[in-house]
Amino acid sequence: MKKMAAVQMCSSADVDENLQQASKWIAEAAENKASLVVLPEMFAIMGMNANDKILIREARGEGKIQSFLARMAREHRIWIVGGTIPLISKQENKVMAASLVYDDHGKLVAHYDKMHLFDVVLSSEEQYRESDTITAGNKIVTVDSPVGKLGLAVCYDVRFPELFRCLSDEGVEVIALPSAFTVPTGKAHWEILVRARAIENFCYVIAAAQGGNHVNGRKTWGHSMIVAPWGNVLAVLDDDKPGIIYAEMQNEKINEARQSIPVKQHRRILTDRRNLDHEN
């Protein structure tokens, strides 16, 4: 059995401070013999405003944040899903919200750009428009990892089950879901959505979240969790405080669930993927 870890952070606008915090959790995951650790969305920067991430964007394969992730993976001999970091977009004054996977030699082995952007109005005081500063991705991304075939998704993606069905069609056994849920949506929907995606596809979901009161005034829900294929919560942080959780990946649990209820064989509606690409 392989151990998986999810990190919860309360990231600030200070990149160096956030990397220092992440390094502590990555080291702890390695010490506890985790094979893979997932960091939350925007782990490297939660800016004072939406444009701050543009100021520290990096080219793919270059920059402080990517060098940090590669070095941590190599030094601690652990696979890392680097939450999301801002990478240069083809659109001026925008970034890609990139989830990067590094193997235990520090090599970049997968790159997923967040597909669904959080443009919502929760109240007159709380509104978000990610599309103002982020370019949406259009690739389904999977990669073979020590914990099985790994699929990548980010935060708001969890509300779009068709993406997870596409990942399931690619044969994923585990899905990494770095997130930064708001308090209202987190309280109402977070656990339900994460567990539903695991159940629908009979796979593990590692949901690593931001949590707490950020220096920019934003509040995030936390409650990071790792969910098994049957929908049972294997590990959870019961609050919004920084921390780390672990769970063991057991292939037989996936096989048992899929053989017991063979939903793939029973499907009558296929997912339309004309506007998507895939990478594995």
Q: Cα–Cα distances in Å, from 34 out to 38, 55, 64, 147, 249?
A: 11, 33, 24, 10, 10
Specify the pLDDT at position 14: 98
Residue 270 is given by DSSP the state P
Name the 3-class secondary structure at 107.
Answer: coil
**What does the alpha-carbon distance between residue 56 and residue 197 come to, in Å, rounded to a whole number?**
33
Query: For the segment 55-107, what is each residue's pLDDT rounded down to a tens digit?
Result: 999 999 999 999 999 999 999 999 999 999 999 999 999 999 999 999 999 99
**What does the alpha-carbon distance between residue 75 and residue 265 come to, in Å, rounded to a whole number?**
43
Specify the pLDDT at position 21: 98
Residue 136 is given by DSSP the state P
Specify the pLDDT at position 107: 98
Query: For the segment 233-250, what is each residue's pLDDT rounded down to a tens digit?
Result: 999 999 999 999 999 999
* Residues assigned a catalytic role: 41, 114, 155
Contact (CB, 8 A) for 44 and 65: yes
- pLDDT at residue 111 greater than cutoff 80: yes
Enter the tokens of residue 126: 């709380």
**Overall residue count recorded for the chain in this entry:** 280
Query: For the segment 203-237, what is each residue's pLDDT rounded down to a tens digit?
Result: 999 999 999 999 999 999 999 999 999 999 999 99
Specify the pLDDT at position 273: 75
Contact (CB, 8 A) for 197 and 205: yes
- Least confident stretch, 24-33, 124-133, 264-273: 264-273
pLDDT average, residue stretch 118-122: 97
Rounded percentage of the chain residues whose pLDDT exceeds 70 = 98
The residue among 24, 17, 15 whose CA lies nearest residue 64 is 15
- pLDDT at residue 280 greater than cutoff 90: no
- Least confident stretch, 15-19, 99-103, 171-175, 275-279: 275-279
DSSP H helical ranges for 77-190: 161-169, 183-185
Rounded percentage of the chain residues whose pLDDT exceeds 90 = 95
Specify the pLDDT at position 270: 82
Specify the pLDDT at position 274: 67
The residue among 201, 197, 208 whose CA lies nearest residue 235 is 208
Percent composition of the chain: helix, strand, coil (DSSP 3-state, to 5):
30, 30, 40
Question: Average pLDDT of the chain?
Answer: 96
Q: Where are the domains of the chain?
A: 2-279
* Count of beta carbons in the 10 Å neighbourhood of residue 245: 21
The angle subtended at Cα 16 by Cα 59 and Cα 45, nearest 5°, is: 60
> What CATH number belongs to 2-279?
3.60.110.10
